[in-house]
Structure 1
């Protein structure tokens, strides 16, 4: 029996593994995805791009796309969880984000030391002055153009930069200019060369993903990480808990289980909520879980508007995915939202760049690859991005599958009209910023016609609250009525943050683990 089994290795699970292993606890981390190395990152059409929850033993790729109601949720799959696909933004929530919706023990002042602890591990920094992207400068001009220049800011990024590096225009990134060194946890990392591949795997390991810091420290202290281990449900065991999971090996699912004194669920908003729903409503091993389970879900108000700029190079595939923001979270412009400069990876260039660098193929074929790479740059497109404070009123439940009605699947009841004010205000601001800088907004039809959204920042489902009548966990992330069972991930965040939430998730976990250790 382990002291602690942690399900998931994202921002909550990695923090818990690191701190508990350092305190001498025996720790096992079950991670449904692979352990990724740079040479394994998906690049070509036949690579392992997608994780399929219906057949994870056959398709356990980089990214899961879950279609729920009028929402598409994007989640990372692998050792490091959401840090594999996030845009590196490592930012505190604004203090007023804790003024409502949280248990009284959670305040901005209470959270401050835990935010600092996360910064000490992820070492965020702003993009150096000599490396500003065209998108950043467009953001600055746009803020000035509408009279809101004081709201513009560079955002802290969990990226290793070489201050001496100056990006040079090139057909393929200059990877050889990355400065390689061992980090504080003994893992080799390079520095950023502006390749734009943050979301699909940084080839120089300049991105401070969790496998290079928190999880590396956990393993250095004796924690065991088990990739391709998909948790299915929980039950009680003598003196503790049993986690029932499948080994995803050799194209097969092999059932297994493990026991522990404590279990920490950190499989993300969807994953942790689904595990508890299946334990309560399908396997019926935990029938006394709180009735609020599944409620209070938020997309964190994520929204994207692509805009076109004629005869202007925006280069959205160059540089870090996000570098700057214009902060309207005070509500002065009709809603509470945080506008960011979105970037996208050049998937076509990534597919061909090794052949281009090596000079493989005939001259005609190389010219074709080069033209495709340039087309994949979307050079004149600005992806205006951001988050907003939405209604946070979605609700998960288990329903019948359409294709296989005998199978129970997770479903979402989410009404987009209740979040329309917040999201609509940000959409209008995207249009205003675009027009103020000479561009033309192209609102996505998915929202304009169908009120459907995409989010990489799902929050809630196991909400933190003062009592089981209002939520699933208390201020210390303990599941109400379930001694030794915790949730430490985005599922416990009880409201939209309105900013990138990863640092807040990690800080909440830092606090919860500190309280857990103080109990022993």
Structure 2
């Protein structure tokens, strides 16, 4: 939309690129306290459980309560292998020794096709990170990010965690508490400002209409001022969903699809008036 807004005829006062946020995403890792402790984070599916938290509002009433979700994550098996390889002492020596033993076993016993035990001995014990439990946090950050193209036509994002510091601090308090209850540890201090975050739920950029402002699209995903163009992905969210947003996006897409199916003039203007109108 940013690259083609002129060619598409998007109104100049359309809020394209605004209301960007990361859905309050925060990645943490609960580290085992003992070498024998193993959360087996590389086995089974991720997000098998979640807890919803809501903090009490500040006594002075200046800040609303923070609502968040914490979920169990996972470590991909391939990542465990990489971590084991990088952190395994004496790896080269064991590789030569076990490789030679395995070659000799194959020569003397053609039915021995199991390499798992030899590979396990080569790699050694799992590093602590491979035995840790990733914790996935998400919630309601401030959707004040602006997306734009720089002089090289590269997408630039102005969003930072600064204005959402209250949210991330409250989330780290809950993560610390949950880690202690699991008999694990989490190193981040709640009061240390978060400078960067990692998100898998980028939202906004083409926000839909709300009761407070006119968006890039209406409540059906129809781009205002561009007949026939519809947007139904996460970019139409005008703010954080809080939980994993996939079902919310799917519900919006289904709503748009049903309307698109029944629209008699798809390439024409929307069949219903757009309200509220774009601000002058």
What TM-score does the superposition give when structure 1 sets the normalisation length? 0.40
Q: Match for 1:414 among 159, 173, 179?
A: 159
In structure 2, the residue matched to 1:174 is none
Contact 1:388–1:423, Cα closer than 8 Å, also in 2: no
1:65-76 superposed matches below 5 A: none
In structure 2, the residue matched to 1:430 is 175
Q: Match for 2:119 among 342, 356, 369?
A: 369
Contact 1:479–1:486, Cα closer than 8 Å, also in 2: yes
Q: CA deviation at 1:438?
A: 2.4
In structure 2, the residue matched to 1:63 is none
Q: CA deviation at 1:415?
A: 3.1
Contact 1:306–1:443, Cα closer than 8 Å, also in 2: no
Residue 506 (1) aligns with residue 237 (2): no
Q: CA deviation at 1:519?
A: 1.5
In structure 1, the residue matched to 2:267 is none
List per-residue Cα deviations over 1:214-264 (Å, max 9, x = no partner): xxxxxxxxxxxxxxxxxxxxxxxxxxxxxxxxxxxxxxxxxxxxxxxxxxx
Structure 2 vs 1, CA of residues 452 and 349 (structure 1 numbering), >3 Å: closer, same or farther? Answer: closer
1:108-127 superposed matches below 5 A: none
Structure 2 vs 1, CA of residues 424 and 449 (structure 1 numbering), >3 Å: closer, same or farther? Answer: closer
The separation in 2 between residues aligned to 1:363 and 1:389, in whole angstroms, is 56
The separation in 2 between residues aligned to 1:321 and 1:458, in whole angstroms, is 20
Residue 387 (1) aligns with residue 125 (2): no
Q: CA deviation at 1:288?
A: 3.0
Considering Cα pairs closer than 8 Å and 6+ residues apart, tell me whether 1 or 2 has the greater RCO: 2
2:247 is paired with a residue whose SS is helix
Q: CA deviation at 1:303?
A: 0.7
The separation in 2 between residues aligned to 1:349 and 1:313, in whole angstroms, is 13
Structure 2 vs 1, CA of residues 498 and 277 (structure 1 numbering), >3 Å: closer, same or farther? Answer: same
1:411 is paired with a residue whose SS is strand
Unaligned stretches of 5+ residues in structure 1: 1-275, 352-359, 401-406
In structure 1, the residue matched to 2:188 is 443
Contact 1:317–1:377, Cα closer than 8 Å, also in 2: no
In structure 1, the residue matched to 2:37 is 312
1:256-295 superposed matches below 5 A: 276-280=1-5, 284-289=6-11, 290-295=13-18
Residue 470 (1) aligns with residue 209 (2): no
Of Structure 1 and Structure 2, the greater strand share is in 1
The separation in 1 between residues aligned to 2:28 and 2:80, in whole angstroms, is 23
Q: Match for 2:239 among 486, 490, 495?
A: 495
In structure 2, the residue matched to 1:346 is 77
Q: Match for 2:204 among 440, 460, 482?
A: 460
1:463 is paired with a residue whose SS is coil
1:384 is paired with a residue whose SS is strand
Structure 2 vs 1, CA of residues 420 and 468 (structure 1 numbering), >3 Å: closer, same or farther? Answer: closer
Contact 1:305–1:442, Cα closer than 8 Å, also in 2: no
Q: CA deviation at 1:375?
A: 2.5
